[in-house]
Structure 1
Amino acid sequence: MTAHTLSAPAPTSRQSHRISADDAADMLMRHREGVLPALALFDVRDEKSYLNAHIAGATRLAEATFPLQIRGLSRSVPVLVYCYHGNASQTYAQWFADFRFPEVYSVDGGYPAFAAALALRDAERADAAMAGTDASAGLLAFLAEFGFDALDLDAPRQHGLTPLMRAALAGRADLIDELLRCGADVGRRNMDGNNALWLACVSSNADSVRKLVQAGIDIDNRNDMGATCLMYTASAGKAEMVALLLECGADPQIMNFDDARAVDLAATRTCLQLLRHTIG
């Protein structure tokens, strides 16, 4: 691909348009904090690499999609481009420059260097956010491991999971307890409409379930398919979880979008026996 094939105007500059990973990270952090109002971030690696891992907020850009994506982008918006190691991104940066984008940068070191620089800044922000609190080293390490924002304990990451949901999925009742003390919202739902209680049932951790119920979580929350935690545990044959949810006050009469109750979904005789009083 060349500037000629895109009918670009004659370039006025052949600068390298390079930026260090540290400076790129600072630029992106300013944008995330609202100091830099607009920023276009592009990942020019192959689709598999992009899907496996990419900088949050980055749009995948390929030679075939470049003409279309450039048409909808204001030339006043600064542009950051990264690739594997910082080589291919220089070519893309030059294409942007050829189209009269005045502020466009290729990130030296590519994705690994950029991601590492951002991780360092996130860690620094986490340390600052937790300074003066009684947050444990374990919680800080947990937040850092999954890329959570210590300044916003309700901000979701992969699959729409918040730190509380992730802790519930891991069966970490200790972290659930600490997150609740730090103000984590039990009312948050993930991209499927499930709250943290559903994830605690997935991990089959009774302590996690009890802590979340005591914190006031909606025990009868229906997800985007109309299913409750009781329905899930019954259909998964998790008899101990079914018994615990009933003990905690879960409503067995709620129906999903197919007019089925937990008893109708029971996968084992034990679950059916626990729910037999709801038949009729």
Structure 2
Amino acid sequence: MDSSLLANIIKKANANEDCSKEIKTAASNLTELSQQNEFYQLPIPIIARIMSRKSSIGANTITRIIMKIKDFQAKDLMDDVEEAQNQLKATMVRNTALQLELRLALEENKNLHDQLEKLKSDNLILKSENQNNVSYELDETEVLPIEKPSDYEPNIYKACEKGLLSSVKYTITNEDFDVNTPNETGDIPLTIAAFNGKADIVNFLLHVGADIEYTNAFGNNALMEASQGNRPDTIKELIAFGTPLEATNPKNKRTALDIAADAGAKNAIEALVLAGAEIEAKGKDGLTPLCIACKNGNKRVTPTLINCGADINARSPDGQTPLILASAAGALTIVKNLVDKGSNISDVTDSGDTPLLMACSNGADNVVTFLLEKGASIEVRNKDRKGPMYLATQSGSEDTVSILLQYGCDVNERGKDNATPLYVAAQNDYIEIVKLLLSKGADVNLMTRYGDTPLIEACGTGSLELVNLLIENGADLEHANNGGETALTAACSEGRAEIVAALIAKGAKTENKTKYGNTPLLEAVSEGNVEICQALLNGGADINALNNMSMNALHIAVSNSDVEVIKLLVEKGINKKQVDDDGKTPLDLASEDEIRELIK
């Protein structure tokens, strides 16, 4: 038989094409092959190459058959062949004629013992070329028992990680190891070897039945692992063996190219694109590989992707372009590259964000400067009415705020809910930004749509230093928001004892009422804060002040069963007989004997 027939069989098998006709021809001419040096190798490429392409066939059955062929144990082969055929049926292999030809080939070998002995002694090696011109040598040491190597690593997973091919071969051929057995983290030897770039081990594992489509606990197959590890040689090996380039991770729907872009794996990207990977494929998040790289700020791989033809104007499901994603990541090099390639600095997402707004929201001052130099508008607002100053202040980047002010941004720019940058800075206790804004003329008393000022916000959430800074710069102590809360009320509601003391010392009135009629004292009693109650009473607060339901502080304290506050109020002489709108005194509300004793 012409050796080209064997080569054609292997080529078609690797391409997953129907090669049953060629196999039948080869099997029917086994007698002729007895006169040639290549005949006994026929079962090896057919079994190892075609059967190992399907995940449900392990290496053990294949290895046993090949070992017995080469050891001439024909009488013991038939049980193994039957098992292989049953497994083959289960895989739904298209080349169904292989089942009969395998049996025929093995049975014919009984009559060729002498010639086999001669060929075995010659130690022939079959070299086969697949459709991608990646060669592989399959010799006896890969399928027959071998001596334990001096550097033997008994843990095959570690051996794959370290690149110990001899150890891997020994374990698989001598210890009846199923090559598709996962470890405790869900990886099989193939995925481990692929991630670590052990191309020779990957090649061997594939030829002895490793499942090329197996996915680990992260949803990655071997090609994805090799891509994440930036292993171009291993990638080429896996692609040559038939791994589909567009296979997706079942968890995130990302392809190997997506994963390489995410990892910043330049060499992997080049290998995948060269092999024909779809450069605009989108994963579950709807991002192309270029979008992924820009989002992560992977400046090493974005030029590669662009040079390979990636669309610089691709959009994510929410309308983000590579430039917007790179601006948000603060990736100046990528931003410059994209702008140089023609990206639009005025691109807008579905939520109205531009590259400048995204850079401001992440405090990317270098990108902000570049975009402003390129003419980005400082008047832009997103759909939440947030502008550059609002977002930069919210990010906490003093440098970005300073740059925007230098380019003429309004220091009192109104944003969401009519909040100013100063209000946002106070809300987040950004002392240095507050100082900067005040130095540039920020109005300390501008209100939000709810009537809150920076001081009211600071008293509830900020530091004493911030409160004092605002007051020193003219903040109105007595301004009340839409709910009637003043700075003192806010401090009492939030339990800010130190700030309460400071406000009282600066002359804050203690009798302002909220829309529910609560004075600062009633708010403090509601919170059960004895220290603040004491400070208010010492500062002249009316102990008998009533809310809109005619309840005094003792009503509230008794309702909360707050013994310590009750003791303080009784000690300070509160009216224990006050009747609320329901006609009840504090005693009527008491449910515990201890409290009854205190207020009777």
Q: Are 1:84 and 2:340 an aligned pair?
A: no
Select which of 172, 181, 204 maps to 2:472. 181
Aligned counterpart, 2:486: 195
Whole-Å separation in 2 of the counterparts to 1:189 and 1:113: 26
Higher RCO, Cα 8 Å, sep 6+? 1
How far did 1:214 drift? Answer: 1.9
How far did 1:84 drift? Answer: 2.2
Distance 1:224-1:164 versus aligned 2 partners, 3 A rule? same
Distance 1:260-1:158 versus aligned 2 partners, 3 A rule? same
Distance 1:274-1:114 versus aligned 2 partners, 3 A rule? closer
How far did 1:236 drift? Answer: 2.1
Whole-Å separation in 1 of the counterparts to 2:494 and 2:475: 20
Letter paired with 1:141: I
Q: Are 1:111 and 2:111 an aligned pair?
A: no
How far did 1:258 drift? Answer: 1.0
Asked if 2 retains the 8 angstrom alpha-carbon contact of 1:126 and 1:140, the reply is no
SS in 1 for 2:531: helix
Q: Are 1:279 and 2:575 an aligned pair?
A: yes
Asked if 1 retains the 8 angstrom alpha-carbon contact of 2:380 and 2:388, the reply is no
Select which of 259, 270, 273 maps to 2:564. 270
Select which of 170, 186, 204 maps to 2:461. 170
How far did 1:122 drift? Answer: 6.9
How far did 1:194 drift? Answer: 0.7
How far did 1:144 drift? Answer: 8.7
Letter paired with 1:111: N
How far did 1:181 drift? Answer: 0.9
1:3-152 equivalences in 2 (<5 Å)? 84-85=351-352, 111=382, 115-117=386-388, 119=390, 124-126=409-411, 138-142=430-434, 151-152=442-443
SS in 1 for 2:508: coil
Distance 1:187-1:114 versus aligned 2 partners, 3 A rule? closer
Asked if 2 retains the 8 angstrom alpha-carbon contact of 1:83 and 1:110, the reply is no
Aligned counterpart, 2:505: 214
How far did 1:150 drift? Answer: 5.2
Whole-Å separation in 2 of the counterparts to 1:143 and 1:264: 44
Asked if 2 retains the 8 angstrom alpha-carbon contact of 1:84 and 1:110, the reply is no
Whole-Å separation in 2 of the counterparts to 1:241 and 1:258: 23
Gaps of 5+ in 1: 1-81, 87-107, 128-136
1:68-109 residue CA offsets vs partner (Å, 9 max, x unmatched): xxxxxxxxxxxxxx96248xxxxxxxxxxxxxxxxxxxxx98
Asked if 2 retains the 8 angstrom alpha-carbon contact of 1:83 and 1:111, the reply is no
Distance 1:138-1:273 versus aligned 2 partners, 3 A rule? same
Alignment coverage as a number of residue pairs: 170
How far did 1:207 drift? Answer: 2.1
How far did 1:185 drift? Answer: 0.7
SS in 2 for 1:191: coil
SS in 1 for 2:386: helix
Aligned counterpart, 1:103: none
1:189-241 residue CA offsets vs partner (Å, 9 max, x unmatched): 11210100111113322221122112221111111111111111112212221
Distance 1:122-1:243 versus aligned 2 partners, 3 A rule? farther
Distance 1:115-1:222 versus aligned 2 partners, 3 A rule? closer
* Identity percentage of aligned residues: 23
Whole-Å separation in 2 of the counterparts to 1:160 and 1:253: 28
Distance 1:144-1:190 versus aligned 2 partners, 3 A rule? farther
Asked if 1 retains the 8 angstrom alpha-carbon contact of 2:450 and 2:481, the reply is yes
Asked if 2 retains the 8 angstrom alpha-carbon contact of 1:252 and 1:263, the reply is no
In terms of mean alpha carbon deviation, does 109-118 or 252-261 score higher?
Answer: 109-118
SS in 1 for 2:456: helix
Whole-Å separation in 2 of the counterparts to 1:220 and 1:263: 17
Letter paired with 1:151: A
Whole-Å separation in 1 of the counterparts to 2:432 and 2:452: 17
Cα root mean square deviation, aligned: 3.8
Whole-Å separation in 2 of the counterparts to 1:167 and 1:235: 21
TM-score by length of 1: 0.51
Gaps of 5+ in 2: 1-348, 354-378, 391-400, 413-428, 577-600
Aligned counterpart, 1:59: none
Q: Are 1:249 and 2:520 an aligned pair?
A: no
Letter paired with 2:497: A
Distance 1:208-1:112 versus aligned 2 partners, 3 A rule? same
